[in-house]
Amino acid sequence: MTTTVHLASRNAKKIAEMQRILGDVVPDLEVVGLDAVDAYDEPVEDAPTFAGNALVKARAGFVATGLPTLADDSGLCVDALNGMPGVLSARWAGPPKSDERNNALLLAQLVDVPDARRRGHFACAVALCLPGGRELITEGVMPGSVRREVAGSGGFGYDVLFEADSAPGRTTAELSPEEKDAISHRGEALRLLAPLAREALTA
């Protein structure tokens, strides 16, 4: 019997990523995004932390759909920018949301920063809201540095600029989905969540 989990996102690459990682441990799992459920009012992501924003989205999705609902919030935290863009990563350059504009702004802000000080990390929090009021939250990080030029066509967001410590010489946009899953902040958070989700969803 298929277990359907709602992911509060329209990002097809993110939905596929969740499906790959959780599907490995939760039997007959189907992850469906916002476009596969009846429309509902999406909440404002105004929490000061990744975990807070993930919970806001997961709670709203569960109330609207009645399905176990996953949500994540993630972003790039750059040391030279005092941890920014952080929770503002997706809208760093202002509306409308645009990966290209966000990346261009980040490069401009770091143009005079030497390579040794371009350190940072991706952070991710994943929340799962379940019937009965149960909520699960896990977090992951991926340390690395910000490149001076974009490279690669995979991933999304700042992947074209980020070189992970565990995959030197390539941006995370140049990694295969499997390579990225193995080292990414979201992959780490989901691997921590997976056994908890399996227990909760198959009980």
CATH code where residue 148 lies: 3.90.950.10
Range of the domain at 180: 3-202
Contact of 45 with 75, CB cutoff 8 Å: no
Average pLDDT of the residues in 40-49: 94
- Tens digit of pLDDT for each residue in 60-79? 999 999 999 999 999 999 99
Tokens of 182: 């193995």
Tokens of 120: 């940072």
Q: Which residues are annotated as a binding site?
A: 9-14, 73-74, 156-159, 180, 185-186
DSSP three-state, residue 38: coil
Position 23 confidence tier, pLDDT thresholds 50, 70, 90: confident
Q: Give the pLDDT score at 73.
A: 95
Q: Which is more confident, 14 or 106?
A: 106
Q: Which helix (H) or strand (E) holds 76?
A: strand 69-78
Is a pLDDT exceeding 80 seen at residue 151?
yes
pTM of the model: 0.91
Q: Give the pLDDT score at 11.
A: 87
Say how many domains are in the chain.
Answer: 1
Is a pLDDT exceeding 90 seen at residue 56?
yes
Question: Which residues are within 8 A (CB) of 31 and not within 5 positions of it... i.e. 6 or more apart?
Answer: 5, 6, 7, 15, 18, 19, 22, 23, 70
Q: Which residues are annotated as a binding site for Mg(2+)?
A: 73
Is a pLDDT exceeding 90 seen at residue 1?
no
Q: Which residues are annotated as a binding site for substrate?
A: 9-14, 74, 156-159, 180, 185-186
Position 21 confidence tier, pLDDT thresholds 50, 70, 90: confident
73 is catalytic: yes
Rounded percentage of the chain residues whose pLDDT exceeds 90: 80
Average pLDDT of the residues in 81-92: 96
Q: Give the pLDDT score at 171.
A: 98
Task: Using CA atoms of 196, 140, 35, 195 in order, give the dihedral in degrees to the nearest 10.
Answer: -10
Q: Give the pLDDT score at 20.
A: 85
Q: Which of 28, 46, 73, 112 is catalytic?
A: 73
